[in-house]
Structure 1
């Protein structure tokens, strides 16, 4: 898990529309800020981790998992788990003694990822990192 600092801010321009969908204001600056720091896993939950959760906990997903569909996009146990409901993801997080990020935390981490890209695995292209050797 990596610590996501609270002091990061990101300004975005959000257009404003009325009930009919007409543009009211072309620009409205919104600042997103999370009041406290928090921790987030550096990597997605893998297919293997989710299968271990299902086996050891006996949890029954909301809908049966279509494993052939999962394996088309994530063919190995080390690939990210996909096609799970919010309830299934919450059950996994509870089993792992964690929690899902709030919507604000998720947006904060995604919008400010340039401040901690290596920690979250986004990284930089090797050519952009002169301090690292490209093999």
Structure 2
């Protein structure tokens, strides 16, 4: 296994589109059934430690550790499910970025055999699949009918923000997300504490086991998404804050550094209107994408979608 401090600083396994962002339609807020009180778990406010002084990927802006003050808020106990997202679509007629673009990225192992799909040069384990979207995760012919309790995927930031407003909430800030993920353990690198996941016996979350991107042993029981209530919750009663799917935050992506590299990265992020994603996914592994740590972060444009991008909703108390 490669040591984290020896790993190359690569962009995480979230590919980006090279097309213009489309404009999402206006959606009226929900009036019943998906109100904030139906979903949010109370999260205490007060001082919170965000970031880390021991970054694994300094270029991602994981450092420095800093103290912030937060108001009390509420956060979904788990990522928004296919079932809940389907109710939103039924009520509003909303079409996601993936549907408006006509395609999204599907992990190569899930692409139907015989389908000719192009692969991004930098992330060849992804395939562009026409028709792939939240309701057809692997493309035409696939369905979420048997995955209604799994997280909705192929979700772009703009999709997540629209749903959150409809549900009477908003996307969490990065600080709120990290504070909630720690579950009352300010120094913990993971929602469950300090135990490092491995490929055999310590399996506290849904990430990759084996040789990425070729062989996932599925030792944790899953090779793709898992039901949102799977694995143990953290101290606040929140499920799968790390692993399973990447989760969008409200914040624009920015690195807190005056270095030339950081300035260049921030300029790129600003031009692309990039937003923060947290938590890693079922494709993360310590040998490559060691970003299922709470302090880990990446930034991507708001129309980015793939087979492991999801979200959860925050609510003001």
Pick the TM interval, shorter chain.
0.5 to 0.7
Give per-residue Cα distances to partners, 1:46-79, cap 9 Å, x unaligned.
1011111111111121221251328689941111
Query: 1:73/1:114 Cα in 2 relative to 1: closer, same or farther (>3 Å)?
Result: farther
- Decide whether aligned partners of structure 1 residues 29 and 77 sit closer, same or farther in structure 2, where only a CA change above 3 A counts: closer
Q: Return closer, same or farther for 1:14/1:62 CA change in 2, 3 Å cut-off.
A: same
Secondary structure in 2 matching 1:98: coil
Deviations 1:8-43 (A, max 9, x none): 53373145xx9xx8xxxxxx7623434312110112
Instruction: Give me the whole-angstrom Cα distance separating, in 1, the residues matched to 2:171 and 2:177.
Output: 9
Query: If you compute each CA radius of gyration, which structure gives the higher value, 1 or 2?
Result: 1
Q: Deviation per CA, 1:77-130: give whole Å up to 9, x if none.
A: 1111112000001111111111110122112222x22456252146xxxxxxxx
Residue in structure 2 matched with residue 106 of structure 1 by the alignment = 177
Is 2:24 the counterpart of 1:13? no
**2:81 equivalent among 46, 49, 53:** 46
Contact preservation (8 Å) 1:33, 1:108: no
Partners of 1:74 and 1:10 lie apart in 2 by 40
Change in Cα spacing, 1:80 to 1:29, as seen in structure 2 (3 Å) is closer
SS of match in other structure, 2:65: strand
1:119 aligns with 2:158: no
Give the aligned length: 112
Bigger helix fraction: 1
Contact 1:2 / 1:40 at 8 angstroms: preserved in 2? yes
When the two structures are superposed, what TM-score results if normalisation uses the length of structure 1? Answer: 0.65
Shift of residue 5 of structure 1? Answer: 1.4
Alignment of 1:78-97 (within 5 A): 78-97=149-168
Q: Tell whether 2:59 aligns with 1:60.
A: no
Instruction: Identify the match of residue 37 of structure 1 among 72, 91, 94.
Output: 72
Distance 1:34 1:83, change over 3 A: farther
Q: Is 1:34–1:104's contact at 8 Å kept on the other side of the alignment?
A: no
Greater Cα offset, 76-85 or 1-10: 1-10
| TM-score normalised by structure 2 residue count | 0.31
